[in-house]
Structure 1
Amino acid sequence: MTSIQTPGLLTFTIAILVFFAGAGINRAIPALRTFNIPEAVTGGLLAALVTLIAHRFFNIEISFALEARDMLLLYFFTGIGLNARLDDLVSGGRPLLVLLILTVVYLVLQNLIAAGSVALLDLPEGLTVFLGSASLIGGHGTTIAWAPLIAERFHVANAMEVGIAVATLGLVVASLVGGPIARHLITRYDLKGPKVEVAVVGLPQRGEDSARDDVSHVSLLRTVLVLNAAILIGYIVDELLGDVALKLPLFVVCLLVAIVLTNTVPRLLPRLIWPTRTRALALVSDLSLNIFLAMSLMSMQLWTLGGLGTSLVVVLAVQTVAAVAYIIFVVFPAMGKNYEAAVLSSGFTGISLGATPTAIANMTAVTKAHGAAPRAFIILPLVSAFFIDIINAAVIGYLAR
Structure 2
Amino acid sequence: MHVSLGAYYTLILAVLVLMLGKLLTRHIRLLRDFNIPEPVSGGLVVAAVIFALHRFMDLSLSLESGLQSAFMLVFFSSIGLSANFAKLREGGKGLLVFPLLIAAFILVQNGVGVGLATLLGLDPLLGLVTGSITLVGGHGTAGAWGSVLETQYGLSGATTLGIACATFGLVIGGLLGGPLAKHLITRHRLARPLTESEQQQADATTVSEGSAVANFESPSHAPRLITADAAVETLALFAACLAFAEFMTGLTKGSAIQLPTFVWALGGGVVIRNLLDHVFGFKVFDRAIDVFGNASLSIYLAIALLSLKLWELSDLAGPLVIILLAQTLLMALYASLVTFRIMGKDYDAAVLAAGHCGFGMGATPTAVANMQAITNQYGPSHKAFILVPLVGAFFIDITNAFVLQLWISLLR
Give 1:252 deviation, angstroms: 1.1
Match of 2:6 in 1: 7
Letter of the structure 2 residue corresponding to residue 133 of structure 1: L
Match of 1:40 in 2: 39
Contact 1:52 1:301 in 2 (8 A): yes
| Correspondences of 1:2-401 after superposition (within 5 Å) | 2-88=1-87, 91=91, 92-116=95-119, 118=120, 124=121, 127=122, 129-133=124-128, 136-138=131-133, 140-141=146-147, 143-144=149-150, 160-161=155-156, 166-167=161-162, 169-184=164-179, 195=207, 212=223, 214-242=225-253, 244-270=255-281, 272-275=282-285, 278-308=286-316, 310=318, 312-316=319-323, 318-326=325-333, 328-329=335-336, 333=340, 336=343, 337=349, 339=351, 341-349=353-361, 359=363, 362=366, 373-385=389-401, 387-397=402-412
Q: In the aligned structure 2, how far is the partner of 1:53 from the partner of 1:205?
A: 43
Contact 2:172 2:328 in 1 (8 A): no
Q: In the aligned structure 1, how far is the partner of 2:103 from the partner of 2:254?
A: 28
> Which runs of 5 or more residues in structure 2 are unaligned?
134-144, 186-192, 195-201, 344-348, 376-384
Question: SS of the residue aligned with 1:300?
Answer: coil
Give 1:27 deviation, angstroms: 0.8
Contact 1:204 1:367 in 2 (8 A): no
Q: In the aligned structure 1, how far is the partner of 2:372 from the partner of 2:400?
A: 22
Question: SS of the residue aligned with 1:36?
Answer: coil
Give 1:232 deviation, angstroms: 1.5
Q: In the aligned structure 2, how far is the partner of 1:306 from the partner of 1:243?
A: 35
CA distance 1:28–1:185, shift in 2 (3 Å): farther
Q: In the aligned structure 2, how far is the partner of 1:225 from the partner of 1:304?
A: 40
Letter of the structure 2 residue corresponding to residue 388 of structure 1: V
Letter of the structure 1 residue corresponding to residue 396 of structure 2: L
Q: In the aligned structure 1, how far is the partner of 2:250 from the partner of 2:278?
A: 27
Q: In the aligned structure 2, how far is the partner of 1:132 from the partner of 1:198?
A: 40
Q: In the aligned structure 1, how far is the partner of 2:17 from the partner of 2:211?
A: 28
Give 1:45 deviation, angstroms: 0.8
Question: SS of the residue aligned with 1:239?
Answer: helix
Give 1:84 deviation, angstroms: 0.9
Match of 1:154 in 2: none
Equivalent pairs, count: 361
Contact 2:79 2:394 in 1 (8 A): yes
Letter of the structure 2 residue corresponding to residue 325 of structure 1: A
Give 1:328 deviation, angstroms: 4.6
Letter of the structure 2 residue corresponding to residue 381 of structure 1: D
Give 1:78 deviation, angstroms: 1.2
Letter of the structure 2 residue corresponding to residue 315 of structure 1: I
- Tell me the TM-score normalized by structure 2: 0.74
CA distance 1:322–1:309, shift in 2 (3 Å): same
- Tell me the TM-score normalized by structure 1: 0.75
Q: In the aligned structure 2, how far is the partner of 1:368 from the partner of 1:286?
A: 21
Contact 1:130 1:166 in 2 (8 A): no
Q: In the aligned structure 1, how far is the partner of 2:368 from the partner of 2:303?
A: 17
Letter of the structure 1 residue corresponding to residue 175 of structure 2: P
Name whichever of 248-257 and 86-95 sits farther off.
Answer: 86-95
Give 1:213 deviation, angstroms: 5.6
Give 1:40 deviation, angstroms: 1.4
Contact 1:89 1:375 in 2 (8 A): no
Contact 2:176 2:332 in 1 (8 A): no
Question: SS of the residue aligned with 2:267?
Answer: helix
Q: In the aligned structure 2, how far is the partner of 1:313 from the partner of 1:375?
A: 28
Letter of the structure 2 residue corresponding to residue 236 of structure 1: F
Give 1:227 deviation, angstroms: 1.6
Question: SS of the residue aligned with 2:390?
Answer: coil
Name whichever of 184-193 and 105-114 sits farther off.
Answer: 184-193
Q: In the aligned structure 1, how far is the partner of 2:392 from the partner of 2:179?
A: 18
Give 1:3 deviation, angstroms: 0.8
